[in-house]
Amino acid sequence: DEYTILNKLGKGSFGTVYKVEQKKSNLFRAMKVISKEILTYQDDDQQFLKEIEILMKQDHINILKGYEYFEDNLNYYLITELITKGELYEYILNCDKIDEAQVRYIFKQLISVVSYLHKNQIIHRDLKPENILVDSVIDNNINIKVIDFGTCNFFKKGKNLNLQGGSPYYIAPE
């Protein structure tokens, strides 16, 4: 009732993302729709709600901002900021070259996100170029946003997390 769906932006293994417009403000946002039927819980039965909780509480320039969420009998609907430049993975594939200074700038932002999350006792567990969006390119600097906190969890010092997770192409062989 609060948003108008404009078009589909993409589809992943856990949901579909749409560009939406908030009716009251006319602001554009992204809406991730996750079917409750196909949702698989990972560490506990609150995994998706944990993703929402973590996204809503984070305040870091390089983490996708979560605004609100809704649910009905069939789906969860997560409203986030809209990032339109696509995945870092696709950006890299479509570039003629990325120089060392650009890579350093991206890496600095990524390390800042990891440090911020770890200081807040959060582990992402699926960092990869497909889970990093290009927010903007200003003066040859590629600004990024980390997304997809579906496998994230809180951690406590001295307590191991046992979930085997991540994406097969990026998991260490050991």
**Where in the sequence numbering do the catalytic residues fall?**
126
| Distance (Å) of CA 30 to CA 33, 46, 69, 139, 156 | 10, 23, 11, 26, 32
**Neighbour count for residue 7 (Cβ, 10 Å):** 7
* Residue of 148, 146, 140 whose CA lies nearest to 166: 148
Q: At 100, is the secondary structure helix, strand, or coil?
A: helix
By the 8 A CB rule, do 125 and 166 touch? yes
